Amino acid sequence: MLDRIDVPLELEGFEVTATEIVEGVLEVSVSSTRRPACHHCGLVSVTGHGRNERRVRDRACSYPCVLRWSQRRFRCNDCHQTFRETHPAVAGKRRATERFRRHLFERACIEPFTDVAISEKVSGYRIEEAFEAHAAAELVELDPDPPRVLSLDESAFRKRFRFHTVFSDPERAAVLDLVEGRGKGAVFGGLLAMSDEVRARIETVVMDCHWPYRHAVEEMLPDVRIVVDKFHIIRAIDAAAQRVRMRLGKRRYRQRVGHAGGVSRQHNPATLEVSRASTTRPTTRRSIAPGGCS
Ligand SMILES: [Zn+2]
């Protein structure tokens, strides 16, 4: 009795020529049925010019799945240029199908990247790449009304070693963009990604006390109002108050210890002499001969 099932590939333009399981991975040999056309002049009169096998990761089907695409190469009969065939399911030189990248993105939206990488048996890089590519497209597709207020803040990934600048709309509690880095360049990049119309609608930019953000906004959006948000101001005040409290606390502690010890350091002639000697700079220097120290 056979213990196998047939599952459709559901990738139009590919036909399955063989399947086998190799070390726990379902390897599906496919070839394209699409009619080739010259990439350079668009002519469909082309001649075969060899093949090469390309491995492309696809969505799992009981096993992790890899497409072994026998990719054809052609020579144009008109312009005589050579080219490789393409397929809409595999963008550019990607090593994963579009639907698999989309699947990774959807999982990464609700699960930690590491968990997704382990369960899908892919690298963390592939998860990040798929997430960033689709997140950018999703944000464009959402196309929210241009924000009146723009918020800039930094966010750390990988245990604070990798920073991103988050562009958000606080009025709608929506993230607009995520740009790598937290310097002026990141702000320039995020603002340049917006259209002129969107930038023109921004009235207020809310940020923390990070000066590169401020400088970048002043250069790119000279007419907007810059507001430092309440949270960061209170945190800065709290940190300053903490420093003053610690400084005063140390001073009082020294005074108390001095009195309790009988004679404070300031009124002890012996320590006074030592401190004077240690703080007085020598008035003469030993001269060093050109030949070296004598
Ligand atoms: Zn051509």
pLDDT number for residue 290: 43
Q: What value does the mean pLDDT of the chain take?
A: 82
Q: Does residue 53 have a pLDDT over 90?
A: yes
pLDDT-derived band of residue 236, with 50, 70 and 90 as boundaries? Answer: confident
Per-residue pLDDT of 157-205, as tens digits, reads: 766 667 889 999 988 888 888 888 888 888 988 888 888 888 888 999 9
If DSSP codes are grouped into helix, strand and coil, which group holds residue 10?
A: coil
Q: How far is the centre of ligand 1, averaged over its atoms, from the C-alpha of 35 (Å)?
A: 14
Residue 143 reports pLDDT greater than 70 = no
Alpha helix positions (H), 73-195: 98-108, 113-120, 124-142, 184-193
227 CB-near residues (< 8 Å, 6+ apart): 204, 205, 206, 207
pLDDT of residue 282: 47
Is-contact 78 42, C-beta < 8 A?
no
What distance in angstroms lies between residue 78's CA and the mean position of ligand 1's atoms? 5
Which residues are placed with Cβ below 5 angstroms of ligand 1, an ion?
38, 40-41, 43, 76, 78-79
In the chain the first and final C-alpha atoms are separated, in Å, by 98
Give dist(CA 188, CA 213) in Å, integer. Answer: 9
| pLDDT at 285 > cutoff 90 | no
What is the pLDDT at residue 284?
43
97 neighbors 56 (Cβ within 8 angstroms): yes
- What is the CA(89)–ligand 1 centre distance, in A? 23
Provide, rounded to the nearest whole percent, the portion of the chain with pLDDT above 70: 83
Ligand 1 centroid – CA 240 distance (Å): 69
Residue 258 confidence (pLDDT): 65
Give me the pLDDT at residue 139, please.
Answer: 67
The average pLDDT across 149-157 equals 86
Q: Summarize the confidence of residues 49-58 as an average pLDDT.
A: 93
The rounded Å distance from CA 33 to ligand 1 centre is 20
- Greatest CA separation found in the chain? 104
Distance 32 CA to ligand 1 centre (A): 20
What integer pLDDT is reported at residue 145 of this predicted model?
74
**Ligand 1 midpoint to CA 116 (Å):** 43
The predicted pLDDT at position 288 comes to 42
- pLDDT (average), residues 100-129: 92
The pLDDT value recorded for residue 14 is: 92
